[in-house]
Chain A
């Protein structure tokens, strides 16, 4: 395959937590991030019918991380061929699944909309991203609980290290509908689930156009939250790891932070994962 253990760089990122701004949460838009219902402001009107809130928020984060103009992209984006997609989400389709069961039990299959059919499959977010932007590389839906975000980063980095792809779009997203909130409240420290998405564009050096300014090390496992890790970025469950990494990347790239930043996600039941992000060169040297 290719160069063994290449450096893994971040070529872009975005945070999309509805209502939050860049001033509050680095990586967010300048104006408050739009809601899932208003995703058309970022994505254009077409192609959103039947898309769940988590899919819409994920698409908004990807759209902004790619830096493409608002509105529907007219076909595959640049560098789409062979690009991997790795999405971390646990609760994206739980409301649809539960509603389908309630409606079916009440009125049979006729009571269920055919538009919801694709959402019964838990990889709907990852495949929707691939379809919208034309990403034909390996396409993964990571559903591994509180560490899902950095599990996704680890699996994406392995796709790059093994030479299966040179670019990977990594997303963490959770919704906060009533079913998702009730489920998340079953966690020992749960009960405050907040919807939101984060996206980071991982690659081997030179794979994405433009200068990469941030690099990451390998994802490590811990029994407890690492003491030196950055504070949490909210209560986004499986999305925490990717949102946290996007926030750290923005802080490093903008000069708000200089040293390496360790991002962690997890909980008492799922244990912890952490990764360290660093600037590729000291501030000022890139000119």
Chain B
């Protein structure tokens, strides 16, 4: 199921992919006092918002970032959607529920087609043959990558854009305020004093093409080797090690790789009480105590939910090409369960991995584990 990754685009609170990777290398975080809603009532004081200053009279829409990313990624890949069949798979955690909330509570006008992303994508790229909106929580864009690679392999399209996007909702912030104690000032993956998760926002998109369709000499960002998809079938919100390990093993099976081949792990690393020890134990089960370096991005960009998996994939590809792995931003002192993990701490790690594993796990026990390979050009 290998697919060439021939274009990309991304936006986070830290800017585009280049700006985000630079901040990661410098250990900078995009966290700031929360602007959305009433922090006192939400029980959440900080977030990783995109400060784009859009006026408040229209709903704040993830679809705007998504549309920009999809169009930009296709331009980056040099794909003409009028000449080739382009399918789009969008992974999202919260859809445009922010727009629904504003419609309900503030009387902001809403068009029902804004709740999913077909119209937003078609406005930017009218020729696309199909647009799917997959609401798969925080694993959503990993699922989009998998479904996109399958569409290519089955010959149902010539080019696939796999994308992810989210903006934060007051309802999900309320949930986070209830499960953290409202004192979290930053996401600190794998830290012994993890304060819990904070939301981020943004969008990311990659263009996938069959390797044989990429003209010789054309540079690519890397190769999508395989994605494992499982569901824990265990709990609505808590993760389960068995389901996560199954997704990792399935990813390697589809990719034709073994854990020993992996030179970098970009962990899900949400800084919650349950995810980090569960993920750490799963990584140790799969890789053993002498596993590859592990980094995580949510201390810098927050939990971007639907975009999270793809953003981690793009950071992994960038790190592999640069030969520099960013540290886990926000990590001070690792939790005891992470002592045997090769967490990248404090400063960037000079390394030249060729294969990376990227984890993404969501509410409902949905897991997507992606294996990507660096390109040689």
Q: A residues engaging B (CB < 8 A)?
A: 1, 4-5, 76, 80, 85, 90, 94, 96-98, 100-102, 104-105, 107-109, 112, 114, 117-118, 120-124, 126-128, 130-131, 133-145, 148, 151, 155, 158-159, 161-162, 164, 179, 183-184, 186-187, 190, 221, 269-270
Question: Given the complex, which residues of A lie within 8 Å of B118, measured CB to CB?
Answer: 144-145, 270
- Using an 8 Å CB-CB cutoff, how does the interface string of B226-240 with A read, 1 for contact, 0 for none? 000111111111000
B 81-98 contacts with A by CB, 8 A: 92-95, 97
How many Å lie between the Cα of A96 and that of B101 in the bound state?
Answer: 11
Q: Can you name the residue of chain A whose Cβ is closest to the Cβ of B156?
A: A158
A186–B110 touching, CB < 8 Å: yes
B136–A136 touching, CB < 8 Å: no
B260 at the interface (CB under 8 A from A): no
Q: Which of B100, B110, B237 contacts A118 (CB 8 A)?
A: B237
How many pairs, one residue from A and one from B, have CB atoms within 8 Å of each other in the complex? 208
Identify 21 residue pairs between A and B in the complex whose beta-carbon atoms are under 8 Å apart, listed by A's number: A1-B1, A90-B115, A94-B97, A97-B97, A104-B170, A105-B41, A118-B237, A121-B172, A122-B93, A122-B94, A123-B366, A127-B364, A136-B231, A136-B243, A138-B230, A140-B136, A144-B131, A145-B113, A162-B153, A183-B115, A269-B113
B 1-44 contacts with A by CB, 8 A: 1, 38, 40-43
Question: Given the complex, which residues of A lie within 8 Å of B178, measured CB to CB?
Answer: 109, 112, 114, 117
New A-B pairs, 17, CB < 8 Å, besides A96-B171, A140-B136, A162-B150: A80-B233, A98-B105, A102-B105, A104-B41, A108-B43, A120-B169, A122-B137, A127-B364, A131-B236, A136-B233, A141-B134, A143-B135, A145-B113, A155-B132, A162-B1, A164-B146, A183-B100
Question: Given the complex, which residues of A lie within 8 Å of B42, measured CB to CB?
Answer: 104, 108-109
Question: Given the complex, which residues of A lie within 8 Å of B282, measured CB to CB?
Answer: none
B116 at the interface (CB under 8 A from A): yes
Question: Given the complex, which residues of B lie within 8 Å of A128, measured CB to CB?
Answer: 236, 364
B129 at the interface (CB under 8 A from A): yes
B147 at the interface (CB under 8 A from A): yes
B113–A101 touching, CB < 8 Å: no
Q: Assuming the A-B contacts A121-B364, A131-B233, A186-B111, are A141 and B135 also in contact, with contact meaning beta carbons closer than 8 angstroms in the complex?
A: yes
How many Å lie between the Cα of A143 and that of B165 in the bound state?
Answer: 14
B112–A118 touching, CB < 8 Å: no
- Using an 8 Å CB-CB cutoff, how does the interface string of B131-171 with A read, 1 for contact, 0 for none? 11111110000010011001101101000000000000111
How many Å lie between the Cα of A122 and that of B134 in the bound state?
Answer: 9
B235–A158 touching, CB < 8 Å: no
Q: Assuming the A-B contacts A101-B101, A186-B110, are A124 and B364 also in contact, with contact meaning beta carbons closer than 8 angstroms in the complex?
A: yes
The distance from the CB of B241 to the nearest CB of chain A, in whole angstroms, is 14
Q: Can you name the residue of chain B whose Cβ is closest to the Cβ of A237?
A: B112
B 286-305 contacts with A by CB, 8 A: none
Question: Given the complex, which residues of A lie within 8 Å of B179, measured CB to CB?
Answer: 117
B130 at the interface (CB under 8 A from A): yes
Q: Assuming the A-B contacts A122-B95, A124-B364, A130-B364, are A159 and B150 also in contact, with contact meaning beta carbons closer than 8 angstroms in the complex?
A: yes
Q: How many residues on chain B are close to A (CB under 8 Å)? A: 67
How many Å lie between the Cα of A159 and that of B156 in the bound state?
Answer: 13
B185 at the interface (CB under 8 A from A): no
4 smallest A-B Cβ distances: which pairs? A127-B364, A139-B231, A122-B135, A118-B236
Question: Given the complex, which residues of B lie within 8 Å of A140, measured CB to CB?
Answer: 134, 136, 143, 147
B105–A127 touching, CB < 8 Å: no
Q: Which of A114, A118, A130, A141 contacts B136 (CB 8 A)?
A: A141
Q: Which of A123, A137, A141 contacts B230 (CB 8 A)?
A: A137
The distance from the CB of B114 to the nearest CB of chain A, in whole angstroms, is 10
A101–B175 touching, CB < 8 Å: no
A135–B231 touching, CB < 8 Å: yes
- Using an 8 Å CB-CB cutoff, how does the interface string of B304-325 with A read, 1 for contact, 0 for none? 0000000000000000000000
Q: Which of B100, B112, B143, B237 contacts A145 (CB 8 A)?
A: B112
The distance from the CB of A284 to the nearest CB of chain B, in whole angstroms, is 35
Question: Given the complex, which residues of B lie within 8 Å of A102, measured CB to CB?
Answer: 104-105
Question: Given the complex, which residues of B lie within 8 Å of A118, measured CB to CB?
Answer: 236-237, 363-364
Question: Given the complex, which residues of B lie within 8 Å of A80, measured CB to CB?
Answer: 233
The distance from the CB of B127 to the nearest CB of chain A, in whole angstroms, is 13
Question: Given the complex, which residues of A lie within 8 Å of B115, measured CB to CB?
Answer: 90, 143, 145, 183
B132–A130 touching, CB < 8 Å: no
B47 at the interface (CB under 8 A from A): no
Question: Given the complex, which residues of A lie within 8 Å of B92, measured CB to CB?
Answer: 122, 143
Question: Given the complex, which residues of B lie within 8 Å of A107, measured CB to CB?
Answer: 41
How many Å lie between the Cα of A189 and that of B285 in the bound state?
Answer: 54
Question: Given the complex, which residues of B lie within 8 Å of A184, measured CB to CB?
Answer: 112
B136–A123 touching, CB < 8 Å: yes
Question: Given the complex, which residues of B lie within 8 Å of A4, measured CB to CB?
Answer: 154
How many Å lie between the Cα of A254 and that of B10 in the bound state?
Answer: 52
B189 at the interface (CB under 8 A from A): no
B365 at the interface (CB under 8 A from A): yes
A179–B104 touching, CB < 8 Å: yes
B174 at the interface (CB under 8 A from A): yes
* Best-buried of A96, A145, A159, A221 by chain B (most CB within 10 Å): A145
